[in-house]
């Protein structure tokens, strides 16, 4: 058993496999999730569980958060009954959610008032790389904080990059998810266009994946498109969030506006809880 006591708040699609990897690496792990049912997989695997964020903070040395969005993260960190109500000086909090760079800097400032260090460390990669410990971790931090966290980040990812001060991880994350959105919409539009002209999606996806236009994300989403079934790995509502974050962070390029409009319209059509690849269903009907 490793001596550092690790805490984890947020056991959704990503948080659960990531927290399991911390446990498997031999750390003492305590978890907290708002919906208690989602703690069961972790407690069955040997993690402790607490009933409040304050308790989590008072019990741990380093706490990770993997939560849906900026509002959730601010709420979980709050100093009334959130993490910052229970922290001790010298602790380290690491937020791995995808949020605005501004939110990461705000959280770091809040932590500083409690003499707590903070790292923004969002991830590139979805549920499968999370399970395999092969995420790419995009960190913004003071160097000494990054170095302290690095052995644990290495349990979660195949690569942990220190990109600059707090906020840099979130800046890199909103940029990479812009490319993710473009890839997904381009894949959907290409398959639908080919089908309109009598080329089956099976044939079109073979052409894409066997040639230079095939890439990791297209290969990953190919089985879902072939089955026309989109259970959420990365929920469509989250790419809407991330494209809005990119816009707020200054993205103003020819493709950015129509991309956000498409995913927003797909979410408004009821596809927000499905995987982002479900945008193909929206595009097929419009
Ligand atoms: P998810 O499955 O929807 O899980 C969200 C988590 O946030 C749940 O544990 C949820 O708790 C918690 N939460 C939400 N609002 C809360 C609040 N106000 N107070 C306390 N807890 C709250 O999301 P996910 O797919 O794991 O994604 C998590 C983050 O990683 C998001 O920022 C997402 O953009 C990013 N991300 C996702 C992927 C992916 O492929 N899924 C990849 C890279 C990055 P409850 O269970 O109680 O609702």
Rounded to a whole number of angstroms, the distance between the first and last alpha carbons of the chain is 55
If you average pLDDT over every residue of the chain, what do you get?
Answer: 97
* Residue 109: how many other CB atoms lie within 10 Å: 11
For residue 109, report the distance from its CA to the centre of ligand 1, in Å. 23
- Where in the chain are the domains? 2-166, 171-285
| Residue 57 pLDDT | 98
> In 3D, which of 6, 1, 116, 18 has the Cα closest to residue 56?
6
- Half-sphere exposure of residue 4, counting CA atoms within 13 Å on the CB side? 18
CB–CB of 138/172 below 8 Å? Answer: yes
Do 2-166 and 171-285 share a fold? no
User: Cα(114)–Cα(89) distance, rounded to whole angstroms?
Assistant: 6
Domain 2-166, classified CATH 3.40.50.720, yes or no:
yes
Q: Looking at residues 7-34, what average pLDDT do you find?
A: 98
Q: How confident is the model at residue 2 (pLDDT cuts 50, 70, 90)?
A: confident
Of 114, 173, 221, 237, which is the active-site residue?
173
Helices (H), the chain: 15-24, 40-44, 53-59, 70-77, 101-112, 127-132, 143-156, 168-196, 201-210, 216-227, 236-248, 256-266, 279-285
- Half-sphere exposure of residue 40, counting CA atoms within 13 Å on the CB side? 4
User: Cα(221)–Cα(239) distance, rounded to whole angstroms?
Assistant: 15
Q: How confident is the model at residue 163 (pLDDT cuts 50, 70, 90)?
A: very high
- 76 C-beta closer than 6 A to ligand 1: yes
- pLDDT tens digits for range 151-162: 999 999 999 999
For residue 207, report the distance from its CA to the centre of ligand 1, in Å. 35
Q: Looking at residues 27-47, what average pLDDT do you find?
A: 98
Architecture of domain 171-285: Orthogonal Bundle (1.10)
Residue 11: exposed, middle, or buried by beta-carbon count in 10 A (0-12, 13-18, 19+)?
A: buried
For residue 201, report the distance from its CA to the centre of ligand 1, in Å. 32
Q: What percent of the chain has pLDDT over 90?
A: 99
- pLDDT tens digits for range 191-248: 999 999 999 999 999 999 999 999 999 999 999 999 999 999 999 999 999 999 999 9
| Residue 1 pLDDT | 64
Q: Looking at residues 67-89, what average pLDDT do you find?
A: 98
Residue of minimum CA distance from atom 13 in ligand 1: 67
User: Cα(93)–Cα(154) distance, rounded to whole angstroms?
Assistant: 16
User: Cα(118)–Cα(112) distance, rounded to whole angstroms?
Assistant: 8
- 15 C-beta closer than 6 A to ligand 1: yes
């Amino acid at each position: 058993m490793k001596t550092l006591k690790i805490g984890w708040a947020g056991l959704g699609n990503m948080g659960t496999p990531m927290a399991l990897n911390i446990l498997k690496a031999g750390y003492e792990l305590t978890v907290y999730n708002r919906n208690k049912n989602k703690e069961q997989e972790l407690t069955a695997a040997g993690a402790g569980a607490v009933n409040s964020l304050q308790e989590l903070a008072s019990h741990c040395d380093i706490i990770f958060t993997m939560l849906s969005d900026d509002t959730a993260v601010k709420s979980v960190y709050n100093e009334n009954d959130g993490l910052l109500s229970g922290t001790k000086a010298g602790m380290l909090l690491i937020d791995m959610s995808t949020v605005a760079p501004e939110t990461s800097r705000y959280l770091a400032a809040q932590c500083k008032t409690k003499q707590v260090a903070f790292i923004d460390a969002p991830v590139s990669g979805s549920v499968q790389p999370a399970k395999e410990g092969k995420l790419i971790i995009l960190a913004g931090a003071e160097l000494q904080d990054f170095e302290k966290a690095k052995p644990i980040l290495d349990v979660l990812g195949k690569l942990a990059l220190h990109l600059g001060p707090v906020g840099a991880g979130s800046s890199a994350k909103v940029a990479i998810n812009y490319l993710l959105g473009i890839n997904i919409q381009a894949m959907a539009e290409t398959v639908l266009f080919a089908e309109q002209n009598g080329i089956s999606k099976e044939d079109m996806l073979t052409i894409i994946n066997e040639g230079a236009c095939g890439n990791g994300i297209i290969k990953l989403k190919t089985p879902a498109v072939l089955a026309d079934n989109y259970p959420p790995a990365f929920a469509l509502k989250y790419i809407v969030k991330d494209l809005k974050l990119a816009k707020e962070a200054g993205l103003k390029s020819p493709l950015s506006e129509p991309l956000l409009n498409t995913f927003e319209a797909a979410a408004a059509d009821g596809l927000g809880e499905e995987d982002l690849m479900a945008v193909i269903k929206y595009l097929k009907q419009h």
